[in-house]
Structure 1
Amino acid sequence: MRTVPRSGEDLFALAPVMPVVVLEEAEDAVPLARALVAGGLPGIEVTLRTPAALSGIERIAAEVPEAVVGAGTIVNTEQVEAATEAGARFLVSPGSTPDLLRAMFDTGLPCLPGVATVSEAMALMEWGTTSMKFFPAEAAGGTAFLKSLAGPLPQARLCPTGGITRRNAPDYLALPNVGCVGGSWPVPAALIASGRWEEITGLAREASSLRT
């Protein structure tokens, strides 16, 4: 059954962990998505860091309706257009600029723009959004920063990404202003390259149980 996210909160509700995927081969996209969905992680952020990314998004969108595939590492308006045309169902950026935000919001898709400071989070709220990505999470202050942010900006809900691991993910997920976390540990490059999809399903299943 196809899930249609309409907001950042809908994205947060999919699972406690959003796998951050770097695709080297577009042919890996569909079996990888199926493995993640089978493990309970339907929300998949495919980063636009490789030539295979857009094709991979297109294939997942067409062939794995149970998955909610989005595009990450969006840094310019051209990528917004390309990701939308490829079938991305949400957009994620590492940071925020006025032109990029305008382009992302104009798509009507759920968006998680990136922030790393209180001022950036306040600026995003002026745009009318309370759902955002916290990046680079560990380098920008980690859970201590998020605990401090919750006082003055309790409306802000974030997906911390950057340095999130199986070990520290529960600390982030325990915070009331964390909607989900993003991480690459459920999708190791070595397992993708060797097509070890059952092992990825196992990692996804473990990640999906981190918040019950």
Structure 2
Amino acid sequence: MRYDATREVMAIAPVIPVVVVPDAASGVAIARALVTGGIRVIEVTLRTAAGPAAIEAIAERVDGICVGAGTVWTPAQAQQAIDAGAEFLVSPGIADAVNAVAQSRDIAYLPGAQTVSEIAHLARQGATATKLFPASVVGGPAAIKAFASVFPDVVFCPTGGITEDTAADYLALDCVPCVGGSWLVSADAVEAGDWGAIRAAAERASVLGDR
């Protein structure tokens, strides 16, 4: 696994959309709307059976987007996502077995942590980036400031409970290159096929945190 590759993914956009897809066709439409709106990265969660198929369809049919798999807990899920075309993996918490797959397949991996001990565990493995989930529950920007004082070489992607209104508070921190956000792709917009609403949300998100 190339830890620099994980940071490269985190630098693509200020927001990584965290997306639950009902089917592959919707995944493609969502990804195209995001790209049109200026967000060139997407995390397709494996919370539904459609996740792997959507990753494959996006990788094959949508130009200019970096597609990854989220909510990856097992080696089998990791292998399946990579085989489908995922360029990065994300876990909400510690998943050492997924880390091992990422290392063997040389793919970017963003593991999750919630505590000092968990961040230390990842740092001992060589990780310099972590997903902080659920960010709004574990202390928000104040918690990240505290973590950064102990781990100055670690960057964070806070996810969970972040909104369009609160994202800038996180992105104002030097150790936060991006946040994860589900608000860009609402379930209502997907159900209605309102790709314009997703594009508009992506346009607004693309300029969040401009320094």
TM-score, structure 2 length as denominator?
0.95
Greater shift after overlay, 105-114 or 54-63? 105-114
Q: Does 1:202 align with 2:188?
A: no
Q: Which runs of 5+ in 1 are unaligned?
A: none
Q: How does 1:156-171 map to 2 (within 5 A)?
A: 156-171=154-169
- The aligned counterpart of 2:7 is 9
Contact 1:30 / 1:64 at 8 angstroms: preserved in 2? yes
Q: Which amino acid aligns with 1:27?
A: A
Which residue pairs with 1:32 in the alignment? 30
> Cα offset for 1:8?
1.6
Determine which of 143, 149, 152 is the counterpart of 1:151: 149
- Unaligned regions of 5+ residues in structure 2, if any? none
Q: Secondary structure at the match of 1:66?
A: coil
Does the Cα contact within 8 Å between 1:114 and 1:133 map onto a contact in 2? yes
- What is the CA-CA distance between 1:6 and the residue it aligns to? 5.9
Aligned residue pairs total 208
CA distance in 2, matches of 1:58, 1:100: 19
User: What is the aligned counterpart of 1:56 among 54, 61, 66?
Assistant: 54
Question: Cα RMSD between the aligned structures?
Answer: 1.3
Which is helix-richer, 1 or 2?
A: 2
Q: After the TM superposition, which of the residue ranges 68-77 and 123-132 deviates more from structure 2?
A: 123-132
For 1:128 and 1:6, locate their aligned partners in 2 and report how far apart those are by CA, in whole Å. 11
* Match in the other structure for 2:89: 91
Output one character per residue of 1:116-165: Cα deviation in whole Å (capped at 9) or x when no partner.
11111111111111011111111112111101011111101010011111
Aligned partner of residue 184 in structure 2, secondary structure: coil
In 2: Cα distance, 1:51 partner to 1:101 partner:
22
Q: Which residue of 2 aligns with 1:100?
A: 98
- Partners of 2:7 and 2:180 in 1: how far apart? 15
Aligned-partner residue type, residue 84 of structure 2: A
**What percentage of aligned pairs have identical amino acids?**
46
